[in-house]
Structure formats: C-alpha cells, structure tokens
C-alpha cells in the first residue's frame, strides 16, 4: 500500500514560474532561491518528474 504522501508521477509536475535575472533586486536571497530551484529541477529530472518552466517577456524584463 502506498503512503498517502507519496507522489503519483501521472499527476505530478514541477512548475517554475518566471525566475529571471531582472528580478534579482526584488527577490530577497535571490541566489539561494535560484540554487534551490536548480536543485529541485535536478531532482525532478532524476525522478523523471515532468518540468514546466515559464518566462514572461524575457526581452523586456531581462
């Protein structure tokens, strides 16, 4: 029996929303946040969890 907190890969994805360098000044601990996001993305890749990354208007925001 699966534990109730076990993720179901068919219903799981990691979504990273709009992490742009232009936001560095607005996000406290940006470097640590970016490092943790990179770690999560790597873990998702190792576990074959789908990854969705969005970036809104990169030319205008950076």
Tell me whether residue 3 is in a domain. Answer: no
Instruction: Quote the pLDDT of residue 58.
Output: 62
Instruction: Quote the pLDDT of residue 60.
Output: 64
Q: Containing domain of residue 45, as a range?
A: 9-61
Tell me the HSE value of 17 on the side-chain side, using a 13 A CA sphere.
Answer: 1
Give bridge partners of residue 17 from the DSSP assignment.
54
pTM attached to this predicted model: 0.73
pLDDT in tens, 2-58: 777 888 888 999 999 888 777 788 888 998 999 999 999 999 999 999 999 987 766
Tell me whether residue 46 is in a domain. Answer: yes
Instruction: Quote the pLDDT of residue 56.
Output: 77
Domain count for the chain: 1
Give bridge partners of residue 47 from the DSSP assignment.
none
């Amino acid at each position: 029996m699966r534990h109730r907190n076990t993720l179901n890969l068919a219903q799981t994805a990691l979504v990273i929303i709009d992490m742009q360098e232009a936001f560095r000044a607005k996000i406290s601990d940006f470097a640590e946040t970016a490092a943790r996001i990179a770690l999560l993305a790597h873990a998702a890749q190792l576990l074959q969890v789908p990854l969705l990354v969005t970036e809104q208007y990169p030319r205008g925001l950076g």
